[in-house]
Each structure stands twice: as structure tokens, then as C-alpha cells.
Amino acid sequence: SSIMTAHCSLSLPGSSDPPTLASRVLVASRNFANDATFEIKKCDLHRLEEGPPVTTVLTREDGLKYYRMMQTVRRMELKADQLYKQKIIRGFCHLCDGQEACCVGLEAGINPTDHLITAYRAHGFTFTRGLSVREILAELTGRKGGCAKGKGGSMHMYAKNFYGGNGIVGAQVPLGAGIALACKYNGKDEVCLTLYGDGAANQGQIFEAYNMAALWKLPCIFICENNRYGMGTSVERAAASTDYYKRGDFIPGLRVDGMDILCVREATKFAAAYCRSGKGPILMELQTYRYHGHSMSDPGVSYRTREEIQEVRSKSDPIMLLKDRMVNSNLASVEELKEIDVEVRKEIEDAAQFATADPEPPLEELGYHIYSSDPPFEVRGANQWIKFKSVS
């Protein structure tokens, strides 16, 4: 049968053509492994005797799921880049391509009933927490089909158990500790993932949050997404100590390879188990990298070299790493993954179509959602004769 397989594969059209029925049958009949064991990098530990395991099992199903999710985030961010350059998206737009292993890996390590809050580089997390690409792109273009009805934009997207999307650097960290307080208060064994960047790590309010979280043993996982640059300032120029996983001092910490999704997943599982056992907060530093600049108004090459970006892309790209692992362990074939690429591309195209064509929210709704649960009232506009109705 393997000879037959080889013969058939020679006569198939090139891989860029859409798969024919024959190749689908081929793929289905090929024997993939159900799962494979991989070695992952050992995490640096702070105030911890043991860390996450150094080997992990990846099932074929999970692998395909993670691949699809990471590819979707990648394509969505690149589409947002394109739409921004066409001036269909305006305002702020902070892209997370290069950091896909963080958002997908974190989600893989927690339950949907757990909570997550992050800063403004939030599109990837918005997707992994359950919103569709359609809703996200439509929110970026400011249309009424967006997840916040076009009133939040890039930095203010919310979903169930996902608290944004926060514009003020560092403010989300005490918020996350508060969500963890609610988890403990309700007694439901849930944890809160509270993310911030290497730039935000120097904010005073984060240390206030560390203190209270440790004092009250809140089930809060503080996660520093260290992509080496806080806007245009490299970590060496901003922090006296760049060991962000140690900055929690009395809070145990681990430093994780944020480009390897399996490493992120295992570390997250470890951290979540730690918090759920009632031991209090824990800190994770994810070492990752962003290909784009800080935001769309930053080309991203004035404070780092193109060579550096290229090196990371070629050696540590998270999607490439997962793909190589899966193909080399016979968890999936190149064609199968390419098929997923094509499907993802189509999904993003459709979403972008919707996001471009959907109408903007009507002007009459400008004053809506000022107060919650209140009867309608009038809001003064630019002068005393312009009034907007406000509905909760």
C-alpha cells in the first residue's frame, strides 16, 4: 500500500492547487500517529522547588486545533495590517503576530470558566477567548457588527470571562487581581490570568497588586509577555532588572519560552494548578517577540534591526515550530496543514468583507450605554440644542 501511495502522490497536481478528491482520500487513508511526545525547554524557576514537566504529549487533534488557531490569529493580524494601510481601520491598532503561541498556549492551559484580562495587544486573546474573527475585524473597522458595536475599537473588546482590552498601561493588573478576588470570594476554583508587557512591568500599581494578591492569596496568575521592547525602548534601557519572573519577589515565578506553544501550555497548566490549590498568586514570564512595530504607526525598525526580526522569524516562529514538530512526528501532513491554511485564509477574507461592508453604528446611538440599567435620558450634544437619547 505504501508503493501505491507513492505512485498516486506523484500524479497529483501541485500543492498550491485546491485538493482534489483523490488527495483527500489519500490523506484520510494515511496512518497518522494519534499523539507524540515532545521535549520542551526547562523553565527557569524563582522560589519554586519544581517546575512544569520537560516532556509533554501532544495529540493529533490538539495539534491541528492549535495550528488552526495560531494561523487564524496570524492571518487576522496581517489582514488588520492591510486594512489599516488602506485606512479602513483607523485609530490605534496593536498587532500580536509573532506572539501567537502565547494566546493559544495560555488558552490551552486553562478552562473556559477561568478568567483572562490583558492590555491593548488584545486581538489574539479576544479570538482565543471565543469571539469570531468577523466580530473582531468589524470592531476594528468601527462597524455596528463589531463585538462592542463599534464603540470600543481595537483596545476595548470584551467577551465572556474576558475583560479586555485595556488602554491604560498597567491598569489591567489590579483589575485582574480584583477578578481573582471575586474568584476566591465565589469559591468556584477559578483562576484569573492577568497579562502585562515588559514595559508595563515597571508600573507601580503592579507591585501594589503583587502585594495584595500575595497577602490575600488570590488565585491570580500574573503573566509578563516580554517581547523585548516597550514601544521603542528595549528592556535593558527600561528595567534595572530584566528578570521579570523574579520581580514578584515574594511571589514564585517561572520564565517560559513564549515561542513554543507546548512550553506555554505546560507552564500554564502548572501555574493554574498552583493557584487552584490555594497557595496564592504565581508569576510567569513569557519570552516572546512581535514582528510588527509597537502599533501601526510604528515601523518597528528604528530601535531594532531587520536582521533581528528576520532571525526570529526564521528560527523561532511559533507556527513554524509547531508545524515542523507535527510533520516530523507524523501527526499531520504538509498538505493537511496547507489545507487548513487555505480554509483560514478564506475565513479571514469573508470576515474582512463583512467588516468593510457592514454599516457604522447610527449617529442616534452615540449616547447609548452611558449608564447601565437606567431608564432612557437625554444627553447634551456639542451645543445645548443638540440632544442625544441615551438608552442603557
* Cα 352 to Cα 346: distance, rounded to the nearest angstrom: 10
Closest distance between another protein and the C-beta of residue 174, in Å?
Answer: 2
Closest CA to 44 of 244, 193, 217, 202: 244
- Span near another protein by CB under 8 A; candidates 35-43, 69-77, 121-129, 167-175: 167-175
For residues 144 and 72, give the distance between their C-alpha atoms in angstroms, rounded to a whole number: 23
Q: What is the dihedral of CA 237, 240, 243, 246, to 10 degrees?
A: -150
Binding of another protein by 371 (CB under 8 A): yes
Residue 120 lies near another protein (rule: CB under 8 A): no
Residue 27 or 175: the one with the smaller Cβ distance to another protein is: 175
Q: Is 152 in the site for another protein (CB under 8 A)?
A: yes
Q: Which of 42, 45, 48, 158 binds another protein (CB under 8 A)?
A: 158
Residue written as cell 498601561?
169
Binding part of the chain for another protein, among 12-20, 201-209, 283-291, 322-330 by CB under 8 A, reads 201-209
Position among 33, 45, 212, 340 found at the interface with another protein (CB under 8 A): 212
175 neighbors 166 (Cβ within 8 angstroms): yes
Say whether residue 150 binds another protein (CB under 8 A).
yes
Quick one: which of 64, 78, 88, 174 contacts another protein (CB under 8 A)? 174
For the segment 175-194, give every residue that binds another protein (CB under 8 A). 175-183, 185-186
Q: What type of residue sits at position 23?
A: S
| Shorter beta-carbon distance to another protein: residue 215 or 342 | 215
Secondary structure (DSSP) of 217-274: T--EEEEEEE-SEETTEEHHHH-S---GGGTTTTS-EEEEETT-HHHHHHHHHHHHHH
Stretch that binds another protein, among 263-271, 325-333, 338-346, 366-374 (CB under 8 A): 366-374
CA distances from 245 to 123, 196, 277, 373 (A): 24, 12, 21, 42
Phi and psi of 155, rounded to 5°?
-100, 0
Binding status of residue 372 toward another protein by CB under 8 A: yes
Residue 81 phi/psi, 5-degree rounding, is: -60, -45
Amino acid at 212: M
Binding residue (CB under 8 A) for another protein from 40, 147, 251, 348:
147
CB of 207 to another protein, least distance (A): 8
Q: Does 132 bind another protein (CB under 8 A)?
A: no
State yes or no: residue 166 binds another protein (CB under 8 A).
yes
Q: Give kind and range of the element (H or E) at residue 45.
A: strand 44-46
Smallest distance, Å, CB 188 to another protein?
Answer: 11
The residues that touch another protein, with contacts defined as CB under 8 A, are 115, 117, 146-152, 156, 158, 163-164, 166-168, 171, 173-183, 185-186, 204-205, 208-209, 211-212, 215-216, 368-374, 377, 379, 384, 392
